[in-house]
Structure 1
Amino acid sequence: MKTAVEKFVTLIINSDSPYSEIDRIYVTNLIFRLIGDGQGNETEDEEPVDLANDLVELAITRGKVEDSITAREILEDQLMDLLTPIPSTVNATFWNKYNVNPEAATDYFYQLSQTNDYIKTRAIAKNISYETKTQYGNLEITVNLSKPEKDPKAIAAAGKVKSNSYPVGPLAIENEGYLGRLGYAARSNHRVIRMMINGQPWGFQYSPYAYFGEHAIFLNQKHVPMTINMQTFGNLADIIHQFPHYFVGSNADLPIVGGSLLAQDHYQGGRHTFPMMKAAIDRKVDFGIDGLDAGIVKWPMSTIRLASSDATKVITAANNIFRVGKNILMNRLISVHIPMGLDIIQLRRLLEWTEISL
Structure 2
Amino acid sequence: MKLKQLMDDFITLAIQSGGWMELDRLYLRNKLLMMIGGHTPDSDYEAVYDSTSADSLADSLVAYAVEMGYSNEQSSKSYLKSQLLDLLAPPPSVVNAFFAQHYSKSSEEATNYFYELNKRNHYIYTPQVGKKEHYETPYGEFVIQTLEDEKAGKSRAIDGFSTANLTEYPKCTYCFENEGYGEEGSAALPTRRLIRMNVGGESWGFQFSDWEEYKEKFFISSEAHRGLMKNKDSIARIAQLLDIFPQYFILLSPEKAKEHSYYEGGRESFPIAAAAVRTYIELKEFPLMNVGSLDWPFPVIRLQSPNVEDIIEGSDYILQKWQQCYGEKLSVEPMIIGRKKKNLYEIDLLLTSGKQPNEERATAEYLGRHSLSPVNGKKSIVENQLSEKVLEEYVAMLKSWTPFGMDQQIGENEAIDDFLHRLE
* TM-score, L = length of structure 2: 0.71
Which residue is 2:281 aligned to?
285
2:95 pairs, out of 81, 90, 102, with 90
Q: 1:82 to 1:128 in 2, by over 3 A?
A: farther
Q: CA separation in 2, counterparts of 1:72 and 1:13?
A: 24
Q: Which runs of 5+ in 1 are unaligned?
A: 152-157, 256-261, 335-342
Answer whether contact 2:10 2:57 (CA < 8 A) is retained. Answer: yes
- Whether 1:313 and 2:306 are equivalent positions in the alignment is no
Answer whether contact 2:251 2:263 (CA < 8 A) is retained. Answer: yes
In the TM superposition, what is the alpha-carbon distance from 1:129 to its structure 2 partner?
4.5
Q: 1:196 to 1:99 in 2, by over 3 A?
A: same
2:7 pairs, out of 2, 5, 8, with 5
Which residue is 1:178 aligned to?
181
Answer whether contact 1:294 1:307 (CA < 8 A) is retained. Answer: yes
- Whether 1:304 and 2:309 are equivalent positions in the alignment is no
* 1:272 aligned partner, one-letter code: E
* 2:277 aligned partner, one-letter code: I
* 1:332 aligned partner, one-letter code: K
Q: CA separation in 2, counterparts of 1:78 and 1:72?
A: 10
* TM-score, L = length of structure 1: 0.84
Which residue is 1:191 aligned to?
193
* 1:135 aligned partner, one-letter code: P
Answer whether contact 1:147 1:209 (CA < 8 A) is retained. Answer: no
Answer whether contact 2:219 2:263 (CA < 8 A) is retained. Answer: yes
- Whether 1:353 and 2:405 are equivalent positions in the alignment is yes
In the TM superposition, what is the alpha-carbon distance from 1:56 to its structure 2 partner?
1.4
- Whether 1:328 and 2:325 are equivalent positions in the alignment is yes
Which residue is 1:27 aligned to?
28
Residues 1-80 of structure 1 mapped to structure 2, 5 A cutoff? 1-3=1-3, 4-20=6-22, 22-37=23-38, 38=40, 39=43, 40-46=45-51, 47-68=53-74, 70-80=75-85
Which residue is 1:226 aligned to?
228
1:105 pairs, out of 106, 110, 128, with 110
The 4+ residue runs of structure 1 with deviation greater than 6 A are: none
In the TM superposition, what is the alpha-carbon distance from 1:244 to its structure 2 partner?
0.8
Q: Which runs of 5+ in 2 are unaligned?
A: 157-162, 332-354, 359-399, 409-414, 420-424
Q: 1:126 to 1:281 in 2, by over 3 A?
A: closer
The structure with the greater share of residues assigned to strand is 2
Q: CA separation in 2, counterparts of 1:148 and 1:179?
A: 23
Cα deviation code 1:108-129 (max 9, x no counterpart): 00110100111013xx225764
* Greater RCO structure (CA 8 Å; 6+ sep): 2
Answer whether contact 2:140 2:271 (CA < 8 A) is retained. Answer: yes
Answer whether contact 1:73 1:186 (CA < 8 A) is retained. Answer: no
Answer whether contact 2:215 2:267 (CA < 8 A) is retained. Answer: yes
Cα deviation code 1:7-53 (max 9, x no counterpart): 21232233312232x32222111111211105432324221111111
In the TM superposition, what is the alpha-carbon distance from 1:130 to its structure 2 partner?
3.7
Q: CA separation in 1, counterparts of 2:264 and 2:314?
A: 21
* 1:328 aligned partner, one-letter code: C
Q: CA RMSD in A?
A: 2.7
Q: 1:221 to 1:147 in 2, by over 3 A?
A: farther
Q: 1:349 to 1:91 in 2, by over 3 A?
A: closer
Q: CA separation in 1, counterparts of 2:181 and 2:252?
A: 26
Q: CA separation in 1, counterparts of 2:137 and 2:330?
A: 33
In the TM superposition, what is the alpha-carbon distance from 1:275 to its structure 2 partner?
0.7
Answer whether contact 1:74 1:186 (CA < 8 A) is retained. Answer: no
The structure with the greater share of residues assigned to helix is 1
Cα deviation code 1:212-269 (max 9, x no counterpart): 11111111111001321111100000000111111101112526xxxxxx22121101
Q: CA separation in 1, counterparts of 2:8 and 2:101?
A: 32
Q: 1:208 to 1:127 in 2, by over 3 A?
A: farther
In the TM superposition, what is the alpha-carbon distance from 1:87 to its structure 2 partner?
0.3
Q: 1:275 to 1:186 in 2, by over 3 A?
A: same
Q: Tell me the SS of whatever aligns to 2:198.
A: strand
- Whether 1:81 and 2:77 are equivalent positions in the alignment is no
Q: CA separation in 2, counterparts of 1:315 and 1:150?
A: 35
Answer whether contact 2:299 2:402 (CA < 8 A) is retained. Answer: no
Q: 1:218 to 1:85 in 2, by over 3 A?
A: same
Cα deviation code 1:70-102 (max 9, x no counterpart): 222221111111111110000011011111111
In the TM superposition, what is the alpha-carbon distance from 1:352 to its structure 2 partner?
6.3
In the TM superposition, what is the alpha-carbon distance from 1:63 to its structure 2 partner?
2.3
Q: CA separation in 2, counterparts of 1:117 and 1:86?
A: 16
Q: CA separation in 2, counterparts of 1:111 and 1:350?
A: 39
Q: 1:243 to 1:333 in 2, by over 3 A?
A: closer
State the identity %. Answer: 28
Q: CA separation in 1, counterparts of 2:33 and 2:318?
A: 59
Q: CA separation in 1, counterparts of 2:312 and 2:403?
A: 26
- Whether 1:116 and 2:121 are equivalent positions in the alignment is yes
Q: CA separation in 2, counterparts of 1:88 and 1:7?
A: 25
Q: CA separation in 1, counterparts of 2:201 and 2:177?
A: 21
Q: Tell me the SS of whatever aligns to 2:19.
A: coil
Answer whether contact 1:228 1:253 (CA < 8 A) is retained. Answer: no
